[in-house]
Structure 1
Amino acid sequence: MAEVTLTNISKSFGDQIGLDDVSMTIPDGSFVVLLGPTGAGKTTTLRMVSGLDKPDSGRITIGGRDMASYTPAQRDVTMVFQQYSLYPHLTVRQNLEFPLKSPILRTPQDEIDRKVGEVAEVLQISHKLDNKATALSGGEMQRVSIGRALVRQPSVYLMDEPLSSLDAKLRSDLRIELKSIQANSGATFLYVTHDQIEAMTMATHVGVLDHGKLVQFGSPREVYESPVSIYAASRLGQPRINVLPADVFGGGPASATHIGLRPEQIVQGDGEDSIVNRVEHLGDQTRLHLSFKSHDLITVTDAYTNLKAGDVVKIRPDKALYFGADGARVA
Structure 2
Amino acid sequence: MAEVRLTGVTRKFGDDYGLNDVTMTVPDGSFVVLLGPTGAGKTTTLRMVSGLDLPDTGSVFIGGRDMAGLTPAQRDVAMVFQQYSLYPHLTVRENLAFPLRSPILRTPAAEIARKVAEVAETLQISHKLDNKATALSGGEMQRVSIGRALVRRPAVYLMDEPLSSLDAKLRSDLRVELKGIQANSGATLLYVTHDQIEAMTMATHVGVLDKGRLVQFGTPRDLYENPVSVYAASRLGQPRINVLPADVFAGAPQGASTIGLRPEQIHQGEGEDATVRRVERLGDQTRLHLAFRNHEIITVTDAHTALRDGDTVKIRPTAAFYFDAAGQRIA
Q: Is this a same-fold pair by TM over 0.5?
A: yes
* Distance in 1 of aligned mates of 2:203 and 2:15: 33
Q: CA RMSD in A?
A: 0.5
Name the SS of the counterpart of 1:53 in structure 2: coil
Cα distance, 1:14 vs. partner?
A: 1.1
Instruction: Tell me the alpha carbon deviations over residues 259-303 of structure 1, each in whole angstroms, 9 at most, x when there is no partner.
Output: 000001101111100000011100100000000011101000011
Cα distance, 1:93 vs. partner?
A: 0.2
* Distance in 2 of aligned mates of 1:14 and 1:243: 34
Instruction: Tell me the alpha carbon deviations over residues 79-130 of structure 1, each in whole angstroms, 9 at most, x when there is no partner.
Output: 0000111000000000000000000000001000110000000000000000
The aligned counterpart of 1:7 is 7
Name the SS of the counterpart of 2:221 in structure 1: helix
Q: Which amino acid aligns with 2:293?
A: K
Q: List structure 1 segments (4+ residues) > 6 angstroms apart after TM superposition.
A: none
* Distance in 1 of aligned mates of 2:113 and 2:207: 37
The aligned counterpart of 2:142 is 142
Unaligned runs of 5+ in 1: none
The aligned counterpart of 2:268 is 268
* Distance in 2 of aligned mates of 1:263 and 1:153: 42
Q: Which amino acid aligns with 1:183?
A: A
Q: Give the aligned length.
A: 331
The aligned counterpart of 1:164 is 164
Give the structure-2-normalised TM-score.
1.00
Matched, 1:306 2:306: yes
Instruction: Tell me the alpha carbon deviations over residues 218-251 of structure 1, each in whole angstroms, 9 at most, x when there is no partner.
Output: 0000001000000000000011000011111101
* Distance in 1 of aligned mates of 2:295 and 2:151: 52
Q: Which amino acid aligns with 1:114?
A: R
Cα distance, 1:217 vs. partner?
A: 0.3
The aligned counterpart of 2:114 is 114
* Distance in 1 of aligned mates of 2:67 and 2:150: 23
* Distance in 2 of aligned mates of 1:127 and 1:305: 46
TM alignment of 1:167-206, pairs within 5 A: 167-206=167-206
* Distance in 2 of aligned mates of 1:163 and 1:301: 31
TM alignment of 1:1-331, pairs within 5 A: 1-331=1-331
Name the SS of the counterpart of 1:247 in structure 2: helix
* Distance in 2 of aligned mates of 1:40 and 1:133: 32
Q: Which amino acid aligns with 2:69?
A: S
Q: Which amino acid aligns with 1:296?
A: E
* Distance in 1 of aligned mates of 2:73 and 2:163: 25
Cα distance, 1:16 vs. partner?
A: 1.7
Cα distance, 1:153 vs. partner?
A: 1.4
* Distance in 2 of aligned mates of 1:220 and 1:199: 7
Instruction: Tell me the alpha carbon deviations over residues 145-194 of structure 1, each in whole angstroms, 9 at most, x when there is no partner.
Output: 00000001111000000000000000000000000000000000000001
* Distance in 2 of aligned mates of 1:294 and 1:13: 42
Q: Which amino acid aligns with 1:231?
A: Y
Name the SS of the counterpart of 2:254 in structure 1: coil
* Distance in 2 of aligned mates of 1:191 and 1:177: 14
* Distance in 1 of aligned mates of 2:69 and 2:10: 17
Q: Which amino acid aligns with 2:13?
A: F
* Distance in 1 of aligned mates of 2:66 and 2:249: 53
* Distance in 2 of aligned mates of 1:153 and 1:120: 16
Q: Which amino acid aligns with 2:59?
A: R
Q: Which amino acid aligns with 1:181?
A: I
Cα distance, 1:15 vs. partner?
A: 1.6
Q: Which amino acid aligns with 2:41?
A: G
Q: Which amino acid aligns with 1:92?
A: V
Sequence identity, in percent?
79
* Distance in 1 of aligned mates of 2:168 and 2:318: 33
Instruction: Tell me the alpha carbon deviations over residues 5-46 of structure 1, each in whole angstroms, 9 at most, x when there is no partner.
Output: 000000001122100000000000000000000000000000
Instruction: Tell me the alpha carbon deviations over residues 57-95 of structure 1, each in whole angstroms, 9 at most, x when there is no partner.
Output: 001100010000110000000100001110000000000
Name the SS of the counterpart of 2:162 in structure 1: coil
Give the structure-1-normalised TM-score.
1.00
